[in-house]
Chains A and B, each alone.
Chain A
């Protein structure tokens, strides 16, 4: 009897497992059936349509604006002579969403251009890219290239884990801001994948409601305070401005712009010591503290880059610091935004960032990778990338391409970035800069959220940064 019972139970269990397996497989099957290939060909665009911003909610720009099929056809018509045959390259990149799609579509065009090179693109989380690259380098299995955020890692250049690109070809006439993040000890170590700097974006509707000129955002720090006061409404949890304050590099990079505006700098000119604890540095950080506590116009919620963007997107924030690749999502919101170059104090300034592609020394097909880099830096290619993603052009020639001119006409938020080229400055390219950014971000958090005295906090951070510099020098 008991045997019979256990047999019946076993049968039930079997049926249960079979059902579980069936449902699971069915679900995967349904998903697989719905699946489109990752780099599916895009639909044909209307010839007269102007490029649109890289909006996240709008249809993918590649589908509506990009001359993808046309460009493919053009590329096919002007196919480069096949110097290579059956070469496969690997690029690890960190973009997600629309930017990833655009990158993949463009790489597909390159792969189909008859060069005999196939570039495989793998997406890696931005926060884990460095760990993965280090592990791969240590094990002797690096990719041919990867996207390095903000700057090329000088550690890799020093250890000869990446190549000086001057050995492979002539550097195009890159805009000056792109020099510092890629040039280290006289060598050129990375091709710009994307350029970025922050500007002051503002909510036009809140500006109008507050009786401010919606066509003119804050021009100075004083404007920032005055506009902020008019835009802030504690009763409805509405703030004049949001600034990042979490201990992440993004916080340091935004604050660095304010530091430049106050007349300061991050390190001394010879990069031998911290300089951000100068009078200008104290003024810049005190300004952030005052925005929160004295003028009560900025939010004290703990926020990183995603946090400030999300806060602004609710429509309850007057101003925030925006980078170009985000313009598309902001342009697609339910309310209109304006965009100004960073407001000035004693001068104008902003942080210049970007994403760079180094050539890994462990790669086996360096000439083929250089071919890819050369294609990527062509004005037409870069113009298209910028038009579809909001990225900044890398050379003057790109700004003259029709696709980029059309983009500027159609995307009103973009002009402020172009106007900010001359005031943008990257953080210095020194070994240990990521650790230094972390130290400064922690100091900013301590002062703004923790109400620690500004001067003492910056001095402590400066000491830590000097120790980092010393550590890597020795």
Chain B
């Protein structure tokens, strides 16, 4: 009786989690299933997850008509480049705001934080004009460089640096460390979890970015996957199977990265308090 009393809550919890998992996975199963159907079967009334006549036609159509591999490479390249730059600038700025003393430090930090309140749309046109002056329209640098600094990243790293005891730095100084060495050899190795959080946050942000790539890209060569997917969904005629096949293919790289780095991803979510 006591055993049952203990097991019941666990069983209920498990049931709730199973239902939650099923609800979360259902759209993905539907996506893959639709990508293997014919266009006519997609619209068959009623729910069927298993295609009556499985076909890879949608995949060959997607590969023939669009440059999926190119779009995926572009997204990967831009997201990686952006993440590296964001981590670099956030570490440098975060350390400066946390440890260096200079006039107006806190005011400048507040101004940096204040930029988080300005909607992207407001800065879009001025940024675009600068990019045009630089001749960077439809280039990778045009996509990456304007996103190289992230106020949230600076804030996150500053807060993390502030939690590291001063004694560690002082010990390094006594041993003759200069400032850059202090940062890169003593402080930076201690920021691993925060940096991983920032990297994951920045990468997913860059991967999902739509508006800036939409404005800056003008050719298929540097178009990112998000913009490409929108072109397939946004027309008057939507080929659902081709769209689902493209979405399935575009999900694969992120799925692989997630499976391999899920430990850090979970840690990152816990640390940054990001949900959903």
Contact = CB atoms under 8 A, between A and B. Distances in A.
Interface of A: 16-17, 19-20, 23-24, 27-28, 31-32, 34-36, 38, 40, 56-57, 90, 92, 94-101, 120, 122-128, 131-132, 135-136, 138-141, 143, 149, 237, 305-306, 310, 313-316, 323, 325-326, 328-329, 332-334
Interface string B118-154: 0000001100110010000100000000000000000
Contact of A334 (B40, B70, B73, B237): B40
Interface string B83-124: 000000000000000000000000000000000000000001
B67 A38 contact: yes
A98 B252 contact: no
B55 to A, nearest CB: 10
B15 interface: no
Contacts of A132: 214-215
A125 B233 contact: yes
Given A125-B231, A128-B234, A313-B43, A139 B256 contact: no
Contacts of A31: 63, 68-69, 72, 249
A90 B235 contact: no
Contacts of A101: 65
A97 B237 CA distance: 7
Contacts of A17: 260
Nearest to A26: B256
A20 B256 contact: yes
Contacts of B240: 310
A179 B45 CA distance: 42
Given A96-B232, A305-B236, 14 more contacts: A17-B260, A32-B73, A34-B63, A35-B68, A38-B220, A56-B239, A95-B237, A96-B237, A97-B232, A125-B227, A131-B215, A138-B129, A140-B132, A141-B132
B219 A122 contact: yes
B67 A35 contact: yes
Interface string B20-45: 00000000000000000011101111
A99 B231 contact: no
Contacts of B241: 57
A97 B257 contact: no
8 contacts: A38-B65, A56-B39, A95-B235, A96-B239, A125-B214, A126-B235, A138-B125, A326-B236
B12 to A, nearest CB: 34
B218 A28 contact: no
B34 to A, nearest CB: 12
Contacts of B215: 131-132, 135-136
Nearest to A326: B237
B144 to A, nearest CB: 19
Nearest to B68: A31
B69 A97 contact: no
Interface residues of B, number: 54
B54 interface: no
A135 B125 contact: yes
A238 B264 CA distance: 50
B232 A24 contact: no
Nearest to B235: A96
B66 A94 contact: no
A100 B65 contact: yes
A435 to B, nearest CB: 18
A333 B44 CA distance: 10
B76 interface: yes
Contacts of A28: 69, 72-73, 76, 253
Contacts of A40: 64
Nearest to A194: B236
Contact of B238 (A20, A94, A96): A96
Contact of A57 (B38, B232, B252): B38
Given A96-B239, A97-B237, A323-B236, A35 B125 contact: no
Nearest to A135: B215
B44 A314 contact: yes
Contacts of A131: 214-215
B230 interface: yes
Interface in B207-223: 214-215, 217-220, 223
Interface in B228-276: 228, 230-242, 249, 252-253, 256-257, 260-261
Given A57-B39, A97-B238, A19 B129 contact: no
Contacts of B128: 135, 138-139, 141
A13 to B, nearest CB: 10
A47 B198 CA distance: 61
Nearest to B45: A314
